[in-house]
Amino acid sequence: MPCAELWSMSNPSSPSSSSAQYQETLHQQEVANEDAGIVVPGAASDDAELSPPRCEWEFRLAATVPSTSLPGASDAIGSVDFDPTGRLLATGGIARRIRMYSVASLLDSSAAASGAGPAACICVPAKLSSVRWRPGALAGTVVGCGDYDGVVTEYDVERGMASWERDEHAGRRVWALDYAPGATMAVSGSDDRTAHVWDPRAPSAGWATARAGGAVLCVEFDPSGGPHLAVGSADRRAVVYDVRALGRGAVAWMDGHGRAVTYVRWAGRRVVTSAADGTHRLWEWGGHDGEAREVRSYSGHASARSFVGMGLWRGAGLVASGSESNHVFVYDLRWDKPIWVQPFWGAQLPAISTVDADVGGGGGGGFVSAVAWRQGGDGDLDDGALVAGGSDGALKMFTCQRRKAEEAAGDVDY
């Protein structure tokens, strides 16, 4: 489905005025902090005095991997994912390749300076919309992907070939793929308005189906191991299902976004959603049937037509976001304005049409199309790694470290 058609199902409108107002502030901050490479927004909203955003983190650019595409070709990155061990990074997009990188090599300053390349590359038959490492016993050795032909495939990294594939969405594009902890279940969301849940240990067996009012664009199992699945779709709604009884319908729903919901991420018992209305939103759900309560809305980044990427570092309560302004944004769940914004400059390709803009968007210039955090353990929450991929095929990795002056700030309540 062309992206223009997808967003038309969500009643497209112009980007929010908050994004436009933020640009002047952003420009001033970029000039003032260019040498340090850090941008910390100041108070830009009416409620800033009540809850001013503070950046308790120091971010540094660790590595840049330039695009290898030929002039006039597109290498847009649509999905990035760290493996459960945090040692490997996988990327996928419209170049029909799964590229795998050693995180240690990317973080090594000498390797980064020389332009670290992928440790392995697997050629695939179709454009990729989602790449996810399989957790559990096969962590770091098997990567799954969903593609534009409606097929879900798992690849053996060592052999560089497919282990199995599922073609159960009638050829309709698979937008999202996720695994439950331990790979006890897998789920794929598709243009056919369904999310299929199945056992990856027996992929050819039957599956359970959750249905939505529009194309299913994002899915995520509860990472704590609970029996819940979050689903977002082009009908502007995100819902939560109990995977033990998918046929009974959603147990909670999140209504409020003005356009298609493109990402869902669990934050403990809460859910963070992202949409093409230029906002991320935090929702609280009581664990029983009913409408979830919106706790906070986050704005500043630009997202009107594109999948700009959204990821959550659950332990630290930080949300990373791409933007059609070609910046990387980071939000703290406690505040509605970003705590850090970084330009994602690089060589730009010719304008991508709405038909070929495989990660969304179209029209001149590039944008940040995918982001992901390396998830640390409970005892490793002072240092993190953030990766961002661009519509021009470039990849950047940032490190973040909690500022020592803030170490005694106490517990954080999101």
Instruction: Give the start-end residues of each E strand in 260-359.
Output: 261-267, 270-275, 279-284, 290-291, 293-299, 310-313, 318-321, 327-332, 340-343
Residue 413 maps to a domain = no
CA distances from 408 to 401, 404, 411 (A): 14, 8, 9
Q: Which residues of 24-33 are buried (b: 16+ CB within 10 A; e: fewer)?
A: ebbeebeeee
At 350, which CATH number? 2.130.10.10
* pLDDT at residue 206 in the model: 79
Rounded-to-integer distance, Cα 164 and Cα 292, Å: 37
The three-state secondary structure class of 140 is coil
Residue 378 maps to a domain = yes
Residue 414 maps to a domain = no
Residue 411 maps to a domain = no
Sequence-distant contacts of 376-382: CB under 8 A, at least 24 apart: 376/86, 376/313, 376/315, 376/316, 377/315, 378/315, 380/315, 381/315, 381/316, 382/407
Q: Give me the number of domains the chain comprises.
A: 1
DSSP state of 167: -
Rounded-to-integer distance, Cα 393 and Cα 45, Å: 34
Residue 266 maps to a domain = yes
Sheet holding 77-82, edge to edge: 77-82, 88-93, 97-102, 120-123
Residue 235 maps to a domain = yes
- For the entire predicted model, the pTM comes to 0.82
Range of the domain at 132: 3-406
pLDDT in tens, the chain (414 residues): 333 233 233 333 333 333 333 344 334 334 333 333 333 333 333 333 335 677 899 999 999 999 877 666 679 999 999 999 999 999 999 999 999 999 999 988 665 545 568 999 999 999 999 999 999 988 899 999 999 999 999 999 999 999 999 999 999 999 999 999 999 999 999 999 999 999 998 888 878 999 999 999 999 999 999 999 999 999 999 999 999 999 899 999 999 999 999 999 999 999 999 999 999 999 998 766 788 999 999 999 999 988 999 999 999 999 999 999 999 999 999 999 999 999 997 433 322 222 223 333 333 468 999 999 998 754 456 789 999 999 999 999 999 999 875 444 544 555
Residues 6+ apart with CB under 8 A from 137: 183
Cβ–Cβ < 8 Å for 12, 4: no
* pLDDT at residue 83 in the model: 95
* pLDDT at residue 290 in the model: 86
Q: Is the dihedral of CA 135, 287, 192, 218 positive or negative?
A: negative
Residue 187 maps to a domain = yes
Q: Looking at this protein, which amino acid is placed at residue 143?
A: V
Q: Which residues of 64-99 are buried (b: 16+ CB within 10 A; e: fewer)?
A: bbebebeeeebbbbbbbbbbbebebbbbbbbbebbb
The pair of three-digit structure tokens given for residue 235, joined into one six-digit string: 């009908």
Cβ–Cβ < 8 Å for 153, 164: yes
* pLDDT at residue 17 in the model: 35
Residue 409's closest CA among 136, 129, 56?
Answer: 56
Which residues pair with residue 156 across a beta bridge? 142, 161
Cβ–Cβ < 8 Å for 85, 350: no
Cβ–Cβ < 8 Å for 129, 146: yes
Give the pairing of strands 368-373 and 383-390.
antiparallel
Give the pairing of strands 290-291 and 252-255.
parallel
Phi, psi of 116 (to 5 degrees): -60, 135
Token pair 């001033």: residue: 28
Rounded-to-integer distance, Cα 242 and Cα 267, Å: 17
Residue 196 maps to a domain = yes
Element (H, E) at 151: none
- Burial status of residue 50 (CB atoms within 10 A of its CB: 0-12, 13-18, 19 or more): exposed
DSSP states of 57-112 as a string? EEEEEEEEE---PPTT----EEEEEE-TTSSEEEEEETTSEEEEEEHHHHH-HHHH
Between CA 319 and CA 27, with CA 29 as vertex, the angle to 5 degrees is 100
Cβ–Cβ < 8 Å for 47, 102: no
Residue 343's closest CA among 365, 362, 359, 360?
Answer: 365
Phi, psi of 30 (to 5 degrees): -60, -45
